[in-house]
């Protein structure tokens, strides 16, 4: 970490504490809401419109987007609609987007950000993340062919990050961060930056509790946002016997138990549903408190299982492997 970045992080170390309304204060000084609405695979039809509008009516203020999701234009139009209808003010929203892997080159970062801002019809983003510590050639999506993958030593993260810092300087972004970064990759970045990452958004749930990563992030003032807290589209967690028994005891849903688990560990969390009833149930999880006994039972579920392994990036190329991406050995499948 540069001296200025180290001093800044030292001032805000342990600042990722709950605010009065349940959000978390970031090292940038801004607050991230406790729960956010995920938009991955959110349909581009009327259901999508109804989901965003209903979520904002319920009280969601964090909208988690990404260029790769392919729906930022539609989301931008709906955000404009709800603002024009005075359901919410722009300054009350917290909008996140992510830099896709094909725009890591220094000349591509600003154009990618500006494209996202145009699509979302916004003057600034509240949070802009490097989506993956993976670089692809310009114009390529998933799954990439071997000749479309760029090793990080050819397109270093710190060079990409410098352009992210410039976007903060120019008022286009309030906070910047990363996603899917291991301790090793995050610690390496922190030695080279002027503005430290405010957020590391990672997969996190009782099967993948990320305890060491959370401890490292807390020590360095980096907030952890959990994606896939309900199982990333898989029903395994929601059907888990322990999760269901806790939900039954508390007269809540398994999803509420899983979200309450994330919040109890100091994370913010991204969840998604097209059902108004489930949107409300998920949002109400902010008020659910789990006992120590509940948390101890859930702690025992840790098995290192990733629902989002990143295998799409290393299935066809040796430039990225499971061990290279996550800086850990691939664990055995959960029981």
- State the catalytic residues: 69
HEC string for the chain: CCHHHHHHHHHHCCCCCECCCCCEECCCCCEECCEEEECCCCCCCHHHHHHHHHHHHHCCCEEECCHHHCCHHHHHHHHHHHHHCCCCCHHHCEEEEEECHHHCCHHHHHHHHHHHHHHHCCCCEEEEEECCCCEECCCCCCCCCHHHEECCCCCCHHHHHHHHHHHHHCCCEEEEEEECCCHHHHHHHHCCCCCCCCEEEEECECCECCHHHHHHHHHCCCEEEEECCCCCCCCCCCCCHHHHHHHHHHCCCHHHHHHHHHHHCCCEEEECCCCHHHHHHHHHHHHCCCCHHHHHHHHCCCCCCCCCCCHHHHCCCCCCCHHHHHCCCCCCCCC
Asked if residues 298 and 261 have their Cβ atoms less than 8 Å apart, the reply is: yes
Give the count of alpha carbons within 13 A of 329, CB side only. Answer: 2
Residue carrying structure tokens 């579920």: 301
Asked if residues 334 and 303 have their Cβ atoms less than 8 Å apart, the reply is: yes
Q: What does the block give as tokens for 267?
A: 């994370």
Q: What does the block give as tokens for 335?
A: 């029981």
Asked if residues 306 and 298 have their Cβ atoms less than 8 Å apart, the reply is: no
Asked if residues 26 and 198 have their Cβ atoms less than 8 Å apart, the reply is: yes
């Amino acid at each position: 970490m540069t001296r200025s970045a180290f001093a800044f992080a030292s001032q805000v170390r342990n600042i990722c504490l709950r605010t009065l309304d349940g959000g978390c204060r970031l090292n940038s000084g801004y607050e991230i809401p406790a729960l956010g609405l995920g938009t991955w695979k959110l349909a581009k039809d009327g259901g999508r419109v109804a989901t965003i509008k209903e979520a904002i009516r319920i009280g969601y203020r964090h909208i988690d987007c990404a260029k790769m999701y392919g729906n930022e234009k539609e989301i931008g139009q709906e955000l404009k609609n709800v603002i024009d209808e005075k359901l919410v003010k722009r300054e009350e929203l917290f909008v996140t987007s992510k830099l896709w892997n094909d725009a890591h080159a220094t000349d591509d970062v600003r154009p990618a950000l500006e494209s996202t801002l145009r699509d979302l019809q916004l003057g600034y983003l509240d949070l802009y993340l490097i989506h993956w510590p993976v670089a692809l050639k310009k114009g390529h999506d998933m799954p990439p062919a071997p000749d479309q993958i760029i090793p990080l030593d050819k397109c270093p993260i710190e060079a990409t990050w410098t352009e992210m810092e410039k976007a903060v300087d120019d008022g286009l972004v309030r906070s910047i961060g990363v996603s899917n970064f291991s301790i090793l990759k995050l610690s390496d970045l922190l030695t080279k930056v002027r503005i430290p990452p405010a957020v590391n958004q990672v997969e996190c749930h009782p099967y993948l509790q990320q305890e060491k990563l959370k401890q490292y992030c807390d020590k360095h003032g980096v907030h952890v946002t959990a994606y896939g807290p309900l199982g990333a589209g898989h029903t395994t967690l929601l059907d888990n016997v322990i999760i269901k028994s806790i939900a039954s005891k508390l007269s809540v849903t398994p999803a509420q138990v899983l979200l309450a688990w994330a919040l109890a560990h100091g994370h913010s969390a991204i969840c998604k549903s097209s059902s108004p009833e489930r949107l409300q149930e998920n949002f109400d999880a902010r008020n659910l408190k789990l006992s120590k006994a509940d948390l101890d039972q859930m702690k025992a579920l840790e098995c290192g299982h990733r629902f989002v392994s990143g295998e799409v990036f290393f299935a066809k190329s040796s430039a990225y492997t499971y061990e290279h991406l996550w800086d850990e050995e691939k664990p055995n499948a959960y029981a």
